A and B are shown apart, each in its own frame.
Chain A
Amino acid sequence: MNKNVFLLAIVIWVTAVTANAQVLNKNTTFKIGGLGRSILTSDKLQGNLVDNDTISPAKGLGGYTLFDLNMDLTINKIFNANAILRVKNPYGSFYGQDTYFEFRQLQFNGQIGRSLKYELGDIYIGMTPYTVFNAKDPSASRFEADAFKVRRDILEYENFYVGNKWRLQGVQLFYNVDSVAIFDRISVNLFGVRTNATNEQAIPDRILAGGRLDVTQSKFLRFGVNMVTFTDLPVAKTTTVLKNTVWSGDLGLKWENDALLLGASIEGGTSSYSFSNKSADTSNAYDDYFYQPEVRVNVKPVKLNLTASYRNVGAQFSSPTAQTQRVNVGVNPSIFPMVNQNTTNRGQMAFDRITDEKVYNRNIQTILGAFLPQYGNITPYGQATPNRVGFSATLATDTSLHNIALEVSVDMLSEIKGEGTDALRKFTGIKAGASVDIGGLAKINRLITLSGGIRTENTMRDGAATVDFKSTLIDAGLAVETLKRVDLIFGMKTLAAKGNEYLVNRDQFNLVNSFTAYNYDGSENIYSGGLRFRFADYAQASVIYNTSQVTRNNLSTSNYTFNQLFMSFILKF
């Protein structure tokens, strides 16, 4: 048996024995919660992409009913067990023949002594944007319509996205202590997970381990040290071995009075990467670094936050746990995946990125994934996107303003090292959005929310291999409570992009090894409208009609319209 698995088994056994010795005392509780969801979609694909196609499916009906039963047993503060059992039954199966059962989550946690907490099994890990961070899809907007939010909530739940954390399997410890010497609080978070299991033959166990020391000196000063490392544990015939370590330190200063809050922070760190492939008799290793200073001003009387930052992230800065994208563009969509007489992948459209849980990553990727420039070209790998230097600024309302949210942000970035040429790409991005709770402003007890957002990106490169790529993404949404707890919801998302780019292909060492010329001239328009019934705080149903038009101006035989009637019932308790 693998050494690590054996150790993990011992820890679980010891924990279980300890818990067993103290069962059923007055602190023992057993809680049941859960989520039920039923979805039915009627889908239709039309347009010149499928006009003469007699084989590929272009109409369909699908859906499922599922129930997640969350069982939470607390023996005492030392031991808590949490398990989520899933029952899922796709529509169309005969007398439940396709019904399946699975454990969606299994976790032990508890507290040992006054200050040490532990978690075993399915755990959520997250640190800073450059170390461990599950960055959001760059085409997702904070000001997206409720009609799309219903769908995003489902795919985030299905992919275990909670905030910006990754859900992995292993062990995690938290140690907190207050009032130590001159420090208000010292916190330590350590974790170890296995992201890839050995086959005991050639594939090594891949272990991800790391931690954060977080020290709050006072309300004025906070600092931290972060480390995360990937290590392969070779077995007998292992031919490839990866090692990737990221260290970072962060420091935050804050001062405030009744009118003003001033803050300054910096995070800086280094990455060290090595990979060897014995079968090909090749190896490579490299180091790089990043730093990002930031200043923040909150003008309290006007409830506005201004943040300005500078970043320098090296071209070879490698931090897989912060650079793994949520969307895997290589995955074909679940609905109507094949076209052209069932021989060609349809490829993803913007609507798939909002609705298809299968195109999202749950695992950490050690090689930077591919991306499509029209959905986000400036920071496709989140804040830790390598090869970026420049300024960013954001002006936004603060959380004390309840009925209105406004945000404007600007990115003025460029590459540090050219790709295929010494000329550097220059990126300009502007985002703006607003959300207004009209019901709240008018002081009527009805939900009336209007939201909208725009994002424009411009990528330019001069020289022998010019790049000129522009995209504009517009979001609009309206939710109106017409009858009590019955909302009319509308959403619109349009994406227009045009220009030329070069997609980067990477080798086994995560280094650029070739380029694919990419010319895009097209648009995608999504219109959604329907009804949402909020029966109770814990239950809602919705009927939404969606139409998504995909137009390629330079590839007219690829145009299509995807229509979908979506019905859902969701219960949470």
Chain B
Amino acid sequence: MKKILFYSFLLVGFAAMSILSSCSCKRTFNDQEFQGPGIVGAPAGFTGVTDAFTACDMNHSCSPLNDTTNTSKQLVMGQPFPTGSNVFPAFHATLSNRVTWFLTIKGNQSGAIKTFTATSQIIDETNALWMGRTDGNEFMKGGEGVTATLTFLNSELSYTLGLKILNSALLAPYNYEKNPVAPAIKGKLMEDYDQSSIGTAFGMRTTYADLNDGNVKASFVMKTNQRVQGDFSLYMHGTDYNGNGYLGGFSNENLTELGMSHVITTHDASEFYYNAYVYGYGRPNSCLMFLLYEDDDASGLYNPLNDDNWQYIQEINWIGWKLVSIKQSDFKAASNPQSGGNGNRIREPYKVIGCAMELQSYPTPGKEVEASVDYVYFSEGGPLIK
């Protein structure tokens, strides 16, 4: 009896395995020839470009763009959306064979890189239209020359082309390429630390250090060798000698940039983002507090006795540049009545009138801390995605 049960069970086991196997015999993409886009190496006899490797102005009937030595036809990149007469270059070449090619555009000063790759015989606006975005964090610089290099898989041939960015670097966030007239995400640059020196009334140029830290207060200086966009970033460094966690910051309580154009229209705090590129130096306890000031009493000015001050603490636990994007719905109201928190306690992005960032020693006070900030940007509809 036991044997019968044993063999019965064995059969059931195999039957179960068979059922499982038959159920699983399904490969959704089995009919596809291969995975991903096609790649083709240069065959024997490949002679590269058969006409000329050129770039043309895509927005103006593809008229030719000259190189860096001719300023009459230069690449104008990244006017702040939605206005501005942009020139977007489309690269052109006809190849002797269908092959996988790589187009690398590199900023001669910034080192920023944009790459295109495809497998085709024709290179044109359908596969090599550059609208100014770059692959990494680094932005191209206004006024710099860029070098476009065309290479091919399994070939030593290469072609180069020089262009110049006439104006500022790319400023538009995500989706701008798809719909430059009415982008899904809109916003405005608040500060890039490139317009003038610290101390002016524009942007976030007002810096201040904790007076209670004694004679050696934190420093806030422009720095060129840690920039993500333009020429400078704001470098912050200091030690929290008095152990209160606070080292100072930079702000503008009444941002001219907001007052002039009323860029924030949404009433939904989860749609409004405070974005900034932050450089971390790997120093523990380095932290930035992001602050947003609202004009609740409609006085046209931020007044901590009547208005709300919203705060968000961001620990800087990375090395290098990182885009930090925080939506207002994640901010907490200031708890100290002396520094805001006296408004209606409702997050109202359309009432935001100013902003700040403070360098802190957090979570452990009393430490030496360090960070850099560049390209502070308010966006509506989504975070800044370069």
| A residues whose Cβ falls under 8 Å from a Cβ of B | 55, 97-98, 100, 181-182, 199, 201-202, 217-218, 221, 223, 225, 237, 247-249, 251, 266, 268-270, 285-289, 291, 314-316, 332, 337-338, 341-343, 345, 387, 417-422, 464-466, 502, 504, 511-515, 517
Q: Can you list 17 A-B contacts with CB-CB less than 8 angstroms, sorted by A residue number?
A: A98-B367, A218-B6, A221-B6, A249-B20, A251-B17, A268-B21, A268-B24, A288-B26, A316-B29, A417-B32, A417-B34, A417-B35, A421-B34, A464-B43, A465-B40, A465-B154, A512-B36
B225 CB-CB contact with A under 8 Å:
yes
Picked from B20, B37, B367, the residue with its CB within 8 Å of the CB of A513 is B37
B28 x A338 contact (CB < 8 A): no
B337 CB-CB contact with A under 8 Å:
no
Least CB distance, A186 to chain B, in whole angstroms: 12
Complex CA–CA separation, A342 to B279 (angstroms): 12
Instruction: Tell me which residues across on chain A come within 8 A of B52, comparing CB atoms.
Output: none
Instruction: Tell me which residues across on chain B come within 8 A of A202, comparing CB atoms.
Output: 270
Least CB distance, B96 to chain A, in whole angstroms: 15
Beyond A223-B13, A315-B35, A419-B36, list 6 extra A-B contacts (CB 8 Å): A97-B366, A286-B29, A342-B226, A465-B40, A466-B154, A515-B36
A337 x B37 contact (CB < 8 A): no
Least CB distance, A464 to chain B, in whole angstroms: 4
Instruction: Tell me which residues across on chain A come within 8 A of B366, comparing CB atoms.
Output: 97
Instruction: Tell me which residues across on chain B come within 8 A of A420, comparing CB atoms.
Output: 34-39
B27 x A287 contact (CB < 8 A): yes
Instruction: Tell me which residues across on chain B come within 8 A of A268, comparing CB atoms.
Output: 17, 20-21, 24
B39 x A502 contact (CB < 8 A): yes
Instruction: Tell me which residues across on chain A come within 8 A of B320, comparing CB atoms.
Output: 332, 338, 345
Closest to B284 in A: A98
Instruction: Tell me which residues across on chain B come within 8 A of A341, comparing CB atoms.
Output: 225
Instruction: Tell me which residues across on chain B come within 8 A of A514, comparing CB atoms.
Output: 36-37, 117
Complex CA–CA separation, A315 to B31 (angstroms): 12
B25 CB-CB contact with A under 8 Å:
yes
Closest to B363 in A: A100
Picked from B5, B29, B36, B43, the residue with its CB within 8 Å of the CB of A181 is B5
Closest to A237 in B: B270
A504 x B5 contact (CB < 8 A): no
B23 x A270 contact (CB < 8 A): yes
Complex CA–CA separation, A315 to B329 (angstroms): 41
A418 x B9 contact (CB < 8 A): no
Least CB distance, A86 to chain B, in whole angstroms: 16
Complex CA–CA separation, A238 to B349 (angstroms): 21
B39 x A289 contact (CB < 8 A): no
Complex CA–CA separation, A182 to B32 (angstroms): 47
Given contacts A338-B320, A517-B102, contact A98 B6 (CB under 8 A): no
B319 CB-CB contact with A under 8 Å:
yes
Least CB distance, A522 to chain B, in whole angstroms: 20
Complex CA–CA separation, A315 to B35 (angstroms): 9
Given contacts A182-B2, A422-B34, contact A55 B225 (CB under 8 A): yes
Picked from B10, B16, B24, B329, the residue with its CB within 8 Å of the CB of A221 is B10
Least CB distance, B178 to chain A, in whole angstroms: 11
Instruction: Tell me which residues across on chain B come within 8 A of A251, comparing CB atoms.
Output: 13-14, 17
Closest to B98 in A: A464
